[in-house]
Amino acid sequence: MAASVASKLQEVRQRVDAAAREAGRTPSTVTLIAVSKGQPDGRLAEAVSAGYRVFGENRVQEAQKHWLDRRREIGDLELHLIGPLQTNKVHEAVALFDVIQTVDRPKLVDALLRAFEGLGVARQCFVQVNTGAEAHKAGVLPENADGFVEFCRNSGLPIIGLMCIPPVDEAPAPHFALLSEMARRNGLGALSMGMSRDFETAIALGATHIRVGTEIFGERVLLGEVRD
Ligand SMILES: *Cc1c(COP(=O)(O)O)cnc(C)c1O
């Protein structure tokens, strides 16, 4: 029988804590974001029943299906948007998510600020950096990151950290180290990096937010079915 979501959550949290201690860090400085994209609703329900509250999604529409109703019922839910955000989805995203991790262009900054004003809220944001300079991937290029962070700050967008998704075919450590150095020199405290296969490496290099899907929930089953 497959391990329950609750026991996988506990197991991953224990690995997170061990990796943090190994790196001389306090385990509570690492937030484990359970990435629920592409998962059947029953698996989310299990995590929620087990008392888990911090989740990540990469598409607005799918996230609404998973979380809109629960959002109303569960006061302390913390939802992170970790996928690319189109400007025409910004209002809905700001209404649903607590944290937007994928800010990467001026047009999006403007749209977010307008949505904050319209909805009377503010959301913590991360700047996504395309550390591998991959053509198909979202995020600002490394050489533009400092300038873009400054642009966000000057615009009044609350940037708390940087986020990256390293190329799948490369060792992640150099990418994590690069992101960590960028955050340091820009005075940003939060670092969202590390997924199922590499979160321990990310924690060793300073991750404050790791995004773990399959290692908690098992293989995704609905991938590609729901599109924004
Ligand atoms: C899907 C996804 C994850 C989780 O990936 P796993 O390999 O399942 O842990 C993390 N970050 C982002 C941006 C994702 O899209």
Phi/psi at 150 (5° precision): -65, -40
Q: What is the pLDDT of residue 227?
A: 46
State yes or no: pLDDT of 9 exceeds 70. yes
Nearest-5° Cα angle at 62, 60 to 63: 60
Q: What is the pLDDT of residue 228?
A: 44
DSSP string, 71-121: HHH-TT-EEEE-S---GGGHHHHHHH-SEEEEE-SHHHHHHHHHHHHHHT-
Q: Please compute the mean of the pLDDT values over residues 2-25 and round it to a whole number.
A: 95
Q: Tell me the per-residue pLDDT of 49-63, one tens digit each, with 9 for 90 and over.
A: 999 999 999 999 999
Q: What is the pLDDT of residue 214?
A: 97
State yes or no: pLDDT of 224 exceeds 90. no
Q: How many angstroms does the Cα of residue 217 sit away from the middle of ligand 1?
A: 11
State yes or no: pLDDT of 203 exceeds 90. yes
Q: Please compute the mean of the pLDDT values over residues 139-143 and round it to a whole number.
A: 98
Q: How many angstroms does the Cα of residue 118 sit away from the middle of ligand 1?
A: 30
Q: Please compute the mean of the pLDDT values over residues 209-213 and round it to a whole number.
A: 98
* Best mutation site among 8, 31, 35, 222 for ligand 1 pocket (most ligand atoms within 8 Å of CB): 35
* Best mutation site among 58, 59, 131, 164 for ligand 1 pocket (most ligand atoms within 8 Å of CB): 58
Q: What is the pLDDT of residue 3?
A: 77
* Best mutation site among 99, 130, 211, 217 for ligand 1 pocket (most ligand atoms within 8 Å of CB): 211
Ligand 1, CB cutoff 6 Å, lining residues = 35, 37, 58, 82-83, 165, 195-196, 211-215
Q: What is the mean pLDDT of the chain?
A: 95
pLDDT band at 221 (very low <50, low <70, confident <90, very high): confident
The total number of residues written for the chain in this structure:
228
Q: What is the DSSP letter of 160?
A: E
Q: What is the pLDDT of residue 222?
A: 60
50, 9 Cβ separation under 8 angstroms: yes
Tokens representing 174 are 């150099």
State yes or no: pLDDT of 124 exceeds 80. yes
Q: How far apart are CA 193 and CA 65, in angstroms?
A: 26
Q: Tell me the per-residue pLDDT of 69-94, one tens digit each, with 9 for 90 and over.
A: 999 999 999 999 999 999 999 999 99
Q: Please compute the mean of the pLDDT values over residues 17-41 and round it to a whole number.
A: 97
Q: What is the pLDDT of residue 158?
A: 96
Q: What is the pLDDT of residue 223?
A: 54
Q: How many angstroms does the Cα of residue 37 sit away from the middle of ligand 1?
A: 8
State yes or no: pLDDT of 226 exceeds 90. no
Tokens representing 55 are 């989740």
Point out the ligand 1 atom lying closest to the alpha carbon of residue 196: 9
36, 47 Cβ separation under 8 angstroms: yes
Point out the ligand 1 atom lying closest to the alpha carbon of residue 220: 8
State yes or no: pLDDT of 1 exceeds 70. no
State yes or no: pLDDT of 180 exceeds 80. yes
